[in-house]
Amino acid sequence: GQSLEQPSEVTAVEGAIVQINCTYQTSGFYGLSWYQQHDGGAPTFLSYNALDGLEETGRFSSFLSRSDSYGYLLLQELQMKDSASYFCAKGGTYKYIFGTGTRLKVLA
């Protein structure tokens, strides 16, 4: 079957750096997306890796290794507002699949 696995919960302190991992088993893989979702809110797009390597967008970076079927989201200079759930997702034109999700708690 197709799946994207993530740790269920990660805790870090304000100002720290945290990495959220995503390992996948899917067919027809086109790339890896990351979404943020605050409690009661809708998912919002953060980043997309079509190719292997690191993509940087402000405090957020995302990495993909197709050979290892693995990616991660790196959040730097953590802020309280970063407390949310983070989902990786198999990208592409169709057969979109979201990961199990990681709940990030940022402590003061």
Partner 1 sequence: EAGVAQSPRYKIIEKRQSVAFWCNPISGHATLYWYQQILGQGPKLLIQFQNNGVVDDSQLPKDRFSAERLKGVDSTLKIQPAKLEDSAVYLCASRPDRDGGETQYFGPGTRLLVL
Residues that bind partner 1 (CB under 8 A): 4, 31, 33, 41-45, 48, 50, 87, 89, 91, 93-101
Q: What is the DSSP letter of 8?
A: S
Strands 32-37, 44-49: pairing kind: antiparallel
The distance of closest approach from Cβ of residue 99 to partner 1 in the complex, given in angstroms and rounded to an integer, is 6
Instruction: Indicate the residue among 42 and 108 with the shorter CB distance to partner 1.
Output: 42
Express the helix, strand and coil content of the chain in percent, nearest 5 each: 5, 55, 40
The distance of closest approach from Cβ of residue 70 to partner 1 in the complex, given in angstroms and rounded to an integer, is 18
What the block records as the tokens of 34 is 């990351």
Q: Cβ distance 88 to 96 under 8 Å?
A: no
Instruction: Indicate the residue among 48 and 60 with the shorter CB distance to partner 1.
Output: 48
Q: Cβ distance 99 to 5 under 8 Å?
A: yes
The distance of closest approach from Cβ of residue 104 to partner 1 in the complex, given in angstroms and rounded to an integer, is 14
Instruction: Indicate the residue among 82 and 85 with the shorter CB distance to partner 1.
Output: 85
